[in-house]
Amino acid sequence: MSQFHFDHLTPDFMLDALWHYGFDVASGLLPLNSYENRVYQFKDQDRKNWVVKFYRPERWSLPQLQEEHQFVAELVAAEIPVAQAEQRDGEFVLAYQSSYLAIYPSLGGRQFEADQDEQLLQTGALLGRLHQVAGSRSFAHRPAFSAEQMLKQSADLLLSSGFVPKALEQNFAAVLQQLQQKAGQLYRPERSIRLHGDCHPGNLLWVNEQVMLLDFDDCRMGPAVQDLWLLLHGDRAEQQMQLGLLLDEYEQFCDFAAKELALIEPLRAMRQVSYMAWLAQRWGDPAFIRHFPWFNSPEYWQQQLKVLDEQLKRCDEPPLSLMPQW
């Protein structure tokens, strides 16, 4: 199992990479909260704040990384508030020795609050505008959301990883098989567009009284609802209200197909299983061992068995609707 190591990413290596692209680091490198890549904030000699992202080796190819940044550039050209990297010699993705990196101006702002109606309304408009641009072409190199990859392949990886306790293996394999069948049958998107792919509140920032969308690292093809459902939380009535707020503004810019609401629970199942597989695959990275120590405990796997069981039941429930049921 490839571990995608960052062994080469020493402080001297990172400073040399930044110097190579004209950044004289005056403050040192402050690590930010990122596990998949390595992300640091720094000040240059002019006291301007920057953020540098060093991409995890072997995860994305250069064409896939370039496609991410080209998508962001299209959104910026359409005046959609998203975070864009700096260019050097016409390139957003910068190469230094064996590494790829991207450098961004540091954005000041407040944490997105999913309970604030105004922020949800603005996010709905942002996503509607984003999907309007996104639907104009397809990714050539980025993958699509796939039940085969995110359920079956992830389940196979988990069951062969050695992380699932022996006492739970049989039950875990059974619930994963049931979830593959049920969610796989439900996940039948009729249309796929380019997506942000990971649009949860942590990737939204309230900047100058508007919502800004950050971090397109997980962008890929999929149904539009993928960029909406991660913003829904609470009980069914609360989610119904939040969905209404999002779509009120979303549909000013982009049509939304009501039948995509039936994809939310299979997408949730895909995320749950692929998240566990992601942790298993990255476990050789010291940052994962340090930040996710519970992953290798029997209690974690017992809890996940309950979570997946509950998700099976969710898949049998009626989907949310565009209009509240009175």
Residue positions annotated with a catalytic role: 198, 215
215 three-state secondary structure:
coil
Residue 318 CB neighbour total at 10 angstroms: 9
Tell me how many degrees the CA angle 209-214-217 measures, rounded to the nearest 5: 170
110 three-state secondary structure:
strand
Which tokens belong to 161?
Answer: 């990883």
> Sheet of 110-111: strands edge to edge?
110-111, 204-207, 210-213
d(CA 88, CA 19) in angstroms, rounded, equals 12
Question: Measured between alpha carbons, how far is residue 112 from residues 130, 230, 318 in Å?
Answer: 18, 13, 29
d(CA 293, CA 21) in angstroms, rounded, equals 37
Report whether 50 contacts 103 (CB < 8 A). Answer: yes
Q: Which amino acid is at 116?
A: Q
